[in-house]
Chain A
């Protein structure tokens, strides 16, 4: 039907509720989780087998459905993004085995998680716009439900509703932009679109559809005025889902932007560079300023995600190969770092039962390994060498200098300083304070939660010390699009 990785995940998605039925008979909550993890691992294996072929030249898989000509187009960028998504999905599933044990309806949770990641894989593998849109909705709808998963509390419901409203408005905007593109060219296939849109003269309608599509994907990618769902949705979701939301779902928005802006609205024809750079600068500045004084740890991390997306958008706006490679590297690194930060926050919440930073003071003393991992992630995202955040922030700043956008680069450097300030504040509260009464009775984080966290922290350090192969992969992914 589709390619093997997506097919595997679809099979697992559909069968997980049945596994959930079996699990209810056996009274073991963990089975559907392990089943989901196996699904991710299998899909990852299929992707690996696919990758050697797809990395060299784009692999086009036609989807025959009567006259409806759709196709999947798997190139280096798709493989790169899919690898990140599957890895994060697998690690978060292992983490959820322990984290979500106090919730009910877990088989549905894993089903939704599998569905969400299936959708994401489809998004990056899509070869024409409509396939992308179908898989986009396939990704979004489970994410709405996952944000509102703990429906017995008011917060996820409120956050879920606002998220749904804004994100659906965004999807509808993408659809409208697609319709204009269809009206201009008669096709929705990426390859054909890029040929047609570059050969024709740039006209107003092209720019209009560009605006619609950019806004539509920008809602998901948390661009400045469209980001307002994020500070509510990311804290309200269970921490494992927050890690996925901040780590990969918003990156799907960035992927959409990259794919459309570089393949359809080529920079040589359409001058969107400064517009995107302005939005990126606004996004990063707003995100960093708003995160400074937050009292809720997950809300602080959510605002930080907005700022980091600003960095990625800035890297994209340089329209050079350097910039795109830097943006893709930062996508991968941020998924790791922010995912790890959210997982650590989840560990703190699991043990201490609160998200409030005033009550979490000094919890690092009671959970030493988590504290070390948290510090590694926080230092990494602030850009301290020799961790991976430094590598990608260095590359983005260089891309800015290379593209001659010096004013924006200076804005980015000031933002790095700001981001650094509140991460130091976080480290101070978690690690360098004396434990409060609330915290004195917490135990260490469970091993099943520590395992994926430790793996991610280790990869942060390894990518920081030896980034060459990852930069190569990101560079290949960038070359596939430019």
Chain B
């Protein structure tokens, strides 16, 4: 920063020097503590929920569950398709390429 160059600059520097002496008023500590406690407990609740979710659907378990569910759905679909394979064009195509379900 450059030194003051005019009268107004000098007055400004004096004003700033005096302004630096201004002390802040007291902070409302009670309100601050209340707000922090509320935020902390809210975060603890939300983090607890996240932790429960993560524990229930851990990555490996989730992958295994998805694979099992997919396999079950595929088996169910094929079992249904087997009964009405003659009426389904896609089933005819599938049977044609794989050689049949039986």
Task: Answer yes or no: do A and B interact.
Answer: no
